[in-house]
């Protein structure tokens, strides 16, 4: 089994967390790279991609010290353009009929809900993926909840207590996906 982790913030902390307790030992390789450029990997190389990108600039991982770090992007259109570029690269390196899972949440701006997850989902669909599942991950006992509860009351908004785990599938070459018209990009 080969493990490639292409997430700057996580890869820098990965260390021993890539050692799995299995009967048959395996080797893992951790690379620090940018998911927008996976040119070191051939087309159709992976059976599964799992990613958890930043939620725009909610938590700044590099505080502007790493050029191109998505966590420094506060513009929704710019962030989604970069995510779409990542989605195209992930689609390219994924084998046909295999899966890509992305965990992403939403945010608030000006006390109003910003559906970041659905905008990201649309960009993955636009890149050519088909949505297989939307799994809602409910966040219980979040450490930041106590800090946000008074702000939510004062600002008259609800706390965001969930994330979306979108599971996408790469269609097979020549696959008739017409029956999946509502699970893929829609041209209006």
Q: How far apart are CA 80 and CA 121, in angstroms?
A: 10
Q: How far apart are CA 2 and CA 42, in angstroms?
A: 14
Alpha helices in 41-143 (DSSP H): 76-93, 116-127
The pLDDT of residue 19: 56
CA dihedral 28→34→39→40, nearest 10 degrees, is -30
Task: Give per-residue pLDDT as tens, 33-57.
Answer: 889 999 999 999 999 999 988 888 8
The pLDDT of residue 94: 97
The CA-based angle 94-98-100, given to 5 degrees, is 70
Q: How far apart are CA 129 and CA 170, in angstroms?
A: 5
The pLDDT of residue 161: 83
For the residues 90-100, what does the mean pLDDT come to? 97
Task: Give per-residue pLDDT as tens, 144-153.
Answer: 677 778 887 8
Confidence of residue 166 (pLDDT cuts 50, 70, 90): very high
Write the CB contacts of 151 (distance below 8 Å, at least 6 apart in sequence). Answer: none
Q: Which two tokens stand for residue 46?
A: 């992976």
pLDDT over 80 (residue 65): yes
Question: Higher confidence at residue 103 or residue 3?
Answer: 103
Task: Pick the range with the lowest mean pLDDT from 28-32, 44-48, 86-90.
Answer: 28-32
Kindly state the DSSP code that residue 52 receives in the 8-state scheme: -
pLDDT over 50 (residue 106): yes
Q: Which two tokens stand for residue 96?
A: 């046909």
The pLDDT of residue 54: 85
Q: Where are the domains of the chain?
A: 1-33, 39-180
pLDDT over 80 (residue 16): no
Q: What percent of the chain has pLDDT over 70?
A: 85
Question: Higher confidence at residue 45 or residue 15?
Answer: 45
Confidence of residue 103 (pLDDT cuts 50, 70, 90): very high
Write the CB contacts of 32 (distance below 8 Å, at least 6 apart in sequence). Answer: 8, 11, 12
Kindly state the DSSP code that residue 159 receives in the 8-state scheme: -
CB atoms closer than 10 angstroms to residue 108: 18
Element containing residue 113 per DSSP (H, E): strand 112-114
For the residues 171-182, what does the mean pLDDT come to? 94
**What CATH number does the domain located at 39-180 have?**
3.40.50.150
Question: Is 147 within 8 Å of 187 (Cβ atoms)?
Answer: no
């Amino acid at each position: 089994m080969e493990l490639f982790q292409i997430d700057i913030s996580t890869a820098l902390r990965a260390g021993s967390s890539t050692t799995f307790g299995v009967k048959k030992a395996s080797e893992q390789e951790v690379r620090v790279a940018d998911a927008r450029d996976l040119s070191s990997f051939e087309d159709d190389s992976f059976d599964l991609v799992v990613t958890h990108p930043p939620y725009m600039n909610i938590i700044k991982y590099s505080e502007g010290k790493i050029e191109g770090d998505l966590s420094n992007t506060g513009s929704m259109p710019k962030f989604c353009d970069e995510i779409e570029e990542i989605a195209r690269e992930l689609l390219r390196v994924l084998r046909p009929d295999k899966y890509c899972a992305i965990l992403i949440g939403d945010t608030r701006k000006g006390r109003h809900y910003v559906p970041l997850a659905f905008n990201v989902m649309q960009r993955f669909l636009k890149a050519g993926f088909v949505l297989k599942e939307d799994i809602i991950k409910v966040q219980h006992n979040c450490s930041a909840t106590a800090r946000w509860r008074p702000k939510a009351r004062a600002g008259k908004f609800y706390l965001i207590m969930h994330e979306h785990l979108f599971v996408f599938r790469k269609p097979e070459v020549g696959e008739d996906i017409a029956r999946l018209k509502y699970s893929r990009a829609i041209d209006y």
